[in-house]
Amino acid sequence: MRKYSLLLFDLDDTILDNSSWFHVGLIQTLGMHSVTRTLDASVFLEQMLHPPKMILEPFIRREISPEAFKRARWSHALSYCNVRSDAILIDEIDTLFSKISMDYVSANEFISALLIDLKRYYQVGIFTNGLYDPRLKIQRMGLAEVFSDETIFHAEQLGYRKPDPQIYAIALEQFGKKSDETLFIGDSWTHDVVGPMETGIDAIWVNRKGLLQSTNHRPVAIVSDVTEIRRLLLHEELVEEIMNE
């Protein structure tokens, strides 16, 4: 594998398992709120994870803000479960969820060890489309020393979402790197493989679910878990080459 000096990581479902915080946090939130505690949590979760196109597509096209999308998604799931809602109730539930879900974000010793080792030889950054505070997630994972605030790029704050080419250009400018010095690592074929590769950045696809490729793009590697990149980026010969620069 060719040498890189900058590694950019997706967050949710790449270095943080969504089921460890979103799924559990949502179920706990529903059980705690008086309006939702009798709802079927599995049905509600399914609606939250797969909102209808009339909500999702305007968000992807950036016709509505992340906050508006969050409210629309809550409203849809509540309506699907026959719960009448308004902006006050939705914001109340979302605030409760934001607080509760973060209690279920925790450190993973294998991922922590990997990222600490990688930072010895590479610059590293986080790029996420996630709707909830990535910096708080990083702190909860015990990775604040690996990813400082200025290396965490949140689409909601930038005004661009992956796979918009501008978001990858921002990364290169921030780190002072060229595209061929950079490697993107993430679970989304569209956002973390196709998007970066269309701008000249190579990618590793973290394909946990064994999905099929939907385009002819060729990532430098496909792994089933992010920890598998250790053998690709930290093998003895490559580390020796980097240290001898």
31 and 138 together in one domain? no
Asked if residue 161 is part of any domain, the answer here is: yes
What does the DSSP assignment read for 11-74? -BTTTB-GGGTHHHHHHHHHHHSTTTTTS-HHHHHHHHHS--HHHHHHHHTTSS-HHHHHHHHH
11 and 115 together in one domain? yes
Confidence bin at 240 (pLDDT 50/70/90): low
111 and 214 together in one domain? yes
Pick 241 or 53 by higher pLDDT: 53
Can you give the pLDDT at residue 167?
Answer: 87
Calpha distance 229→126 (Å, rounded): 16
148 and 238 together in one domain? yes
12 and 32 together in one domain? no
146 and 32 together in one domain? no
Domain boundary pick from 74, 102, 130: 102
84 and 145 together in one domain? no
Q: What is the pLDDT of residues 2-16, one digit of tens each?
A: 689 999 999 999 999
The pair of structure tokens assigned to 89 is 């109730």
Domain span holding position 154: 6-16+106-243
Q: What is the pLDDT of residues 121-141, one digit of tens each?
A: 999 999 999 899 999 999 999
Number of domains composing the chain? 2
Over residues 177-189, mean pLDDT: 96
118 and 53 together in one domain? no
Q: What is the pLDDT of residues 46-64, one digit of tens each?
A: 999 999 999 999 998 889 9
Asked if residue 132 is part of any domain, the answer here is: yes
132 and 72 together in one domain? no
Confidence bin at 1 (pLDDT 50/70/90): low
3-state secondary structure 189-234: HHHHHHHHHHCCCEEEEECCCCCCCCCCCCCCEEECCHHHHHHHHC
Instruction: Give me the chain's average pLDDT, please.
Output: 93
Asked if residue 1 is part of any domain, the answer here is: no
